[in-house]
Every structure is written in C-alpha cells, then in structure tokens.
Amino acid sequence: MKKTLIIHTGGTISMKENHDGGVVETEAHPLSKLEALHRFPIDEVQLFHLPSPHITPNHMLQLANFISEKVETQLYNGIVVTHGTDTLEETSYFIDLSIKSFIPIVFTGAMRSSNEIGSDGLYNLICAIRVASNPKASNRGVLVVMNDEIHTAQYVTKTSTSNVSTFQSPQFGPVGMVTKQDIYFYQKTYHEEVFPVASLSKKVLLLKAYAGMDNESIEHLLSANIEGIILEALGQGNIPPMIVPTIKKLINQGVTVLFVSRCYKGIVQPTYDYIGGGRALLEEGVIFANHLNGPKARLKLMLLLENNATQQEIMRAFRD
C-alpha cells in the first residue's frame, strides 16, 4: 500500500498557546506523534517552519520543486501540505499553477493552535489525508480541505480572521465534502493551466483602489522597477479619475496593468465608458482578470511574465 506524504511548512497548525495566551512556534510539530494520525500510512517531512506571513514566492517555488520531485518517485498516493492560513490560498494556488500532478495535492491548516480549546488542526489534517489518498481527488488540481469542506485552490479565500469556517469559495462554493464515512465531490473541476518556472525575477505589485485616490499615491511607480501591477478596482472594474493619467503612463512604459475587483463576488468587466470607467480603460490597454482575487492574480501574472507571455497571451489567460 502506498503512503501519503505530509509536507509541513509551519503555521498555526504547528504552534502552541503559551501561558499568557500568545501563540508561539514549537521545535517539533505537535501533531506528528499523535496516535490518531498514525492510523494512516504516512511519511512526514518538515520543509519549512515558518508563520505564513513569512512565506514568499521563492518559498512557494522551492515547495513546488520539492513536490514535483516526490510526485515523480511514484511512491505516494497523495500529498498533503500543512500551511499557515494567512497565505495558504496564495501558496496553494501557486502550486496549482506550476505543477501538473497525477496524484492529489491537498493543503490544510488550522485556525486554533494545537493545545487550544476546540483545536481544529488534527481533524483538518486527518481529513486532508483522507482526501489526498482517495482516487476520486485525482486530476482536480490542488485542493484545500478545511472544516469538512473541499475547495479548489483557484477560488478559495480566507474570509474571517479567526472563525474555523474561514475558508470559503464565495463565487462557486466548495467542490466537495468530507464525512465520517467517505468523501464526496459534487462539482466537476478542471485543471489545465500550468506555467512551470525555474526562477522568479518579475516584480508585480498589488494595489487597492479607494474613493478619492489621488495621483500622488501612485505616481512614484513610474520610476520603480516593476513589470506588472494588479489593481483591485472598484465594482466591475472602475477607478477614480485622478489616477487615470498615471495608469496610462505605466502602460506606455510597458508595465502590464491588470484589474480585479475589490468585491469578493462577481467579475470585472468593461462596462462603464466614463473617465476611469472600465470600458474606457480597456481601450487604453488595461487587462481584466475575470474570476481571481488580487493576491492570486498577482501570482498568475508573475508566472506568465516569467514565461515571457505576450499581452495577448496574458489577456487570454485571464479571460478563460
């Protein structure tokens, strides 16, 4: 019988609450020696031991390379990655974009540390193992398993700062569920995009639009060494008129400017034809990302730029 590989990277699932209520890192993973975990055939490795705000795209690339090596050994029926929840959605999506795997890859974490009342780490980890070792989870892209639900890395996001049901897919909902008896998938998922990279050198910024945003707040970007900007625009993809001149200049300098919405549901689309409206900005060269949030669009654009994608290829990648 093949085993499931667990790759630990740190986060709350690997931490403990101390006597004064602070959540702190531990030397050894607190779940690794629990009997309930070892009822399953597993191997464990600790690749990182980092709070997730410390994770960078280069860590994500290192993790992607490590997973690829393990997949190619054909020793495992699935891979589980434990990760801090703050950036779990970004790392899982990076892996989704950079690896084509014939076995399930599942991310999980915890909202409460290992010794807190109501700790969710062990239960989430066991559920993730069950999903990763189940053939029904194959060929679905990278999955995120939290709180009895199965989500795709592409659409899942952290919606609450502390609630254990924080991970949701607002646009489409979960694709499956975990019960005591089995796992169930009730949505078909597609995994076709893979943008492998050997290194990360492109700088892409993420900005958020707000009422009254003025030109001075972004004009300094004209002299910055950047290749792309993701702007979380208002509504369907509109921005305050004061920043339009700088957006145009950035595009003329060869910077890829991509709009997502700061709303967590719906998609951006070029509808309004006024100064700062999406339709007018589309004609200036702004690209609309139809179904991603800002952090994920940033990672996807980075990988596209590393692969020397043209503007037309970038447009198609974000439209599909």
Cα–Cα distance measured from residue 320 to residue 317, given in angstroms and rounded to the nearest whole number:
6
- Backbone angles phi and psi of 88, in degrees to 5: -60, -40
Tell which residue, 280, 268, 8, has the closest CA to residue 128: 8
Going through the chain in order, the beta strands assigned E by DSSP cover 3-8, 15-17, 23-25, 42-46, 76-82, 105-108, 143-146, 149-152, 157-158, 167-168, 176-178, 183-185, 204-208, 228-233, 256-261, 287-288
Cα–Cα distance measured from residue 130 to residue 87, given in angstroms and rounded to the nearest whole number:
23
| Helix pair 311-319, 294-306: axis angle to 10 deg | 140
39: buried, middle or exposed (CB in 10 Å: 19+, 13-18, 0-12)?
A: exposed
Tokens 């008896």 belong to 181
Tell which residue, 244, 260, 276, has the closest CA to residue 208: 260
From the list 12, 85, 87, 152, the catalytic residue is 12
> Is 12 in the active site?
yes
Are the beta carbons of 238 and 210 closer than 8 angstroms? no
DSSP 8-state symbol, 37: G
How long is the chain? Answer: 320
Residue 204: strand, helix, or coil: strand
Which residues are marked as active site?
12
